Structure 1
């Protein structure tokens, strides 16, 4: 007899159908040995082919950040060094190999991809790294093998802290993550991103890009002064155009950050009326009083719900945090 997997339903519902009070988790053992291969690109064009060449080696991750994020890291390096518990000179010295690569490239890379390789023995790791280096030879990219943990950590610190410091240093602006999590078929990324970034540029919104190259999941987090009505008004217009573009490329407007107030009104771009009706019926079966996260994933419509407009554009407009 066929069975229905309630685990997947509850996980996919993202807190809108009930509360998990107990669970059993199976953990994946951590592999003992690891290395990192840093890749430096002059453009996004070869990224899909490079990813496809690397994936047979089963890397742990393919993390990505763009030139603008790298510039932030350089701009805020003294503060990043302090947060890393290091002096500016010793922290900056760690990036000397990358500086030499930039000289060879005649400028900063357009894109950096960090390929993590983990296995249970050093020999297995070294074999995979050699295979990766061999696989990327046909492409116009630069690479560097990073074997020391301290050198690997510098990339993660730089990527993480550059965003945090940007939020602190840009006066009168705050993060507005309304298009922060989308997924595009990896082979379409070089074609998609210029069109996506043009939408933001046309509305005067500056952004940085980071993400996961292996599955085409990227994060764009604009900084905006949401105290201004003119800035808040951009959110709905830009989201509408941006999500239309995502759907045009057969992508998902939500990859790993869930559907909440900001994305629920746009789910009709991805799902048919019939599927949205199934969402509603499922909600009514599990949560007939609309208690759990009302207005998220399914527009709030129950008579007991305080705000009948939950899950709509109108509700979104009223719930943009100004301060």
Structure 2
């Protein structure tokens, strides 16, 4: 590899880190996997990335395993932010926010969402698909994963919001990717260069298999599995939008260097109706009633998560920069903790928004009245201050598991299943039955309005007995998800954990189209190997973490 690094140092202005400690710090993300890279690179600008791609392509023949894995905050839960070759860390220099024009945000991919939120708030705007991990994740990761979040009930996943991207493709050049009319597409396809070839091949692949591709799209509100081929070409509108394909590609098709994304209005006021359930039996009737009242968000989490949130509220509030909430909200959590002498089995958080506090309260009160017949405890938290601690527990649920459960690892391998909300009352108990059959203690949180659940088993990741449970559990979960026409990933994408199961979920024919897509963009497999269509269960299992340490490395 020394010849590669010698050549790279001549053209690469950023950092080239080969010290073992730097490599170890980038060997984990938030998944169940670990891979130590050969080096960590910190590009200063797009020219650095262009030179890197060109250099890797030139040396690929001599070093067949040579590749580039793009990484931002390292919070990916599918194993997509780790690799055995070159890690491209975007959080050192790609951290500039260009600005906000109207409702359009222009930014570099390494910017943390927590740094974007205050800027947007000044304009009464927000990102409609920001994930729950917004305090520690970046916008590049959000686009790369086609992330969703609390507001996806209204706004869907990130692919709907992206308006323009700059991407370095396999030829080593940076291109602007944006929606095209059919006339613009025809012009693009006439180009005698790599870009023209990409557009011709992608258009022909989708047009030839148009019905099959559209029929393969999971019938759910949010999906981040596969490549978004069904969203690229619309015959009715005549719009060809390659940003839809790049969004959710996890760095396997090219390297995103610049993001232009649409934001949405942020309501001046919001409040919560909290519903405490002692069992899952009431969900069947409660969910459709809640949806009739069109809440802004509809979230929830279980008693394990809630107990951790109450017990360690002070420590995670400090960790996330929320010191002002420590005494202000303690009594709220304590009140809930004393509910009938124990915590509720599940807490539903139903949020409404409005232009005034009165409008918010009236919306909550109407739903409150409709749910009285279930004789469940309900509380109204009519403003943002009262709602804040519950949101922070929900958003920090994985962080709490990772840092406060000892001798077990919070293992997100079936964590993102999604079905239509109408199936939740049947689906969720069956899913829990599978988990219990394999004696895997697990927590539940998620987006009840979207039918999207984060079920995180607690494993002794070093134990062979626990490791051998992963494959049979996945097979049973896949069968159940397909029975209810859902998806294994609503927000967290494929990576190493779900990539091997793409043929089982979509069928061999559709998987072949995904595979062809990868090879159109990346014929030499230099971008993020062993993820999505290039993943294999054997490779993934060979790189299971060797420690139960729950520390997240950023």
TM-score category of the 2 structures, normalised to the smaller one = 0.7 to 0.9
CA separation in 2, counterparts of 1:146 and 1:87? Answer: 15
Offset of 1:208 from its aligned partner?
0.6
The count of corresponding residues between Structure 1 and Structure 2 is 309
Match of 2:19?
none
Counterpart-to-counterpart distance in 2, 1:225 and 1:77: 25
What is the aligned partner in structure 1 of residue 538 from structure 2? 314
The corresponding residue for 2:291 is 55
Counterpart residue number, 2:306: 70
1:155 lines up with 2:393 in the alignment: no
2:275–2:376: 8 Å Cα contact kept in structure 1?
yes
Match of 1:120 among 351, 355, 358: 355
CA contact (8 A) 1:34 1:118 kept: yes
Aligned runs of 1:236-251 on 2, under 5 Å?
236-251=471-486
**CA distance in structure 2 between the aligned counterparts of 1:170 and 1:26, rounded to whole angstroms:** 38
Alignment match, 2:278: 42
Aligned residue for 1:252, secondary structure, equals: coil
2:357 and 2:383 in contact (8 A); partners too: no
User: Out of 398, 410, 415, which is 1:180 matched to?
Assistant: 415
Question: Of the candidates 438, 444, 452, which is equivalent to residue 209 of structure 1?
Answer: 444
SS at match of 1:153: helix
CA deviations over 1:147-177 (Å, ceiling 9, x no partner): 2433212213344556534433433322211
- Does the 8 A contact of 2:415 with 2:454 survive in 1? yes
CA distance in 1, matches of 2:520, 2:292: 43
Structure 2, unaligned runs of 5 or more: 1-181, 183-237, 548-554
The superposition leaves residues 167-210 of structure 1 with CA deviations (integer Å, 9 ceiling, x where unpaired) of 33433322211111110222222222222222222222111100
Unaligned ranges ≥5, structure 1:
300-310
Report the alpha carbon displacement of residue 259 of structure 1 after superposing the two structures with TM. Answer: 0.6
Counterpart position of 2:510: 275
CA contact (8 A) 1:57 1:132 kept: yes
Residue of structure 2 equivalent to 1:260:
495
Quick one: which of 292, 298, 305 aligns to 2:533?
Answer: 298
User: Residues of 2 paired with 1:86 and 1:93: CA distance?
Assistant: 14
In 1, are the aligned partners of 2:360 and 2:382 still within 8 Å (CA)? no
- Could you report, residue by residue, the CA deviation over 1:49-100 in whole angstroms, capped at 9, with x for unpaired residues? 3232222433221111112322333554675687664898875422354356
Closer, same or farther in 2 for the Cα pair 1:123/1:79, shift >3 Å? closer
Aligned to 1:303: none
Query: Aligned-pair distance for 1:239?
Result: 1.7
Q: Does 2:336 match 1:98?
A: yes
* SS in structure 2 at match of 1:127: helix
Check 1:49–1:24 CA distance in 2 against 1; reply closer, same or farther (3 A cut). Answer: same
Confirm or deny: 8 A CA contact 2:272 2:349 kept in the other structure. yes
Does residue 1:7 correspond to 2:256, yes or no? no
Structure 1 168/11 Cα, relative in aligned 2: closer, same or farther at 3 Å? closer
- What TM-score, normalized by structure 2, do the two folds share? 0.51
Give yes or no for contact 1:247–1:269 (8 Å, CA) kept in 2. Answer: no
Q: 1:227 to 1:93 in 2, by over 3 A?
A: same
Are the equivalent residues in 2 in contact too, given 1:80–1:162 (CA < 8 A)?
A: no
Distance, in Å, in 2 between the alignment partners of 1:87 and 1:276 is 48
| Counterpart position of 2:105 | none
Please give the alpha-carbon distance, in whole angstroms, between the structure 2 residues aligned to 1:258 and 1:185.
18
**For 1:286, which of 521, 527, 537 is the aligned residue?**
521
Over 3 Å counting, the alpha-carbon distance change for 1:88 and 1:5 in structure 2 is: closer
Q: CA deviation at 1:145?
A: 0.8
Change (3 A) 1:249 1:228: same
Is the CA contact (8 Å cut-off) linking 1:206 and 1:223 kept in structure 2? yes
Alpha-carbon separation, structure 1, partners of 2:352 and 2:376? 19
Separation (CA, whole Å) in 2 of partners of 1:9 and 1:81: 37
Task: Please give the TM-score of this superposition, normalised by the length of structure 1.
Answer: 0.85
Confirm whether residue 33 of structure 1 aligns to residue 269 of structure 2: yes
Q: Which residue of 2 aligns with 1:304?
A: none
Flag the 1:91–1:28 CA change in 2: closer, same or farther, 3 A.
closer
Q: Displacement, 1:283?
A: 1.4
Higher strand share: 2
- Offset of residue 107 of structure 1: 4.9
Contact 1:49 1:187 in 2 (8 A): no
Q: Which has the higher contact order (CA 8 A, sep 6+)?
A: 1
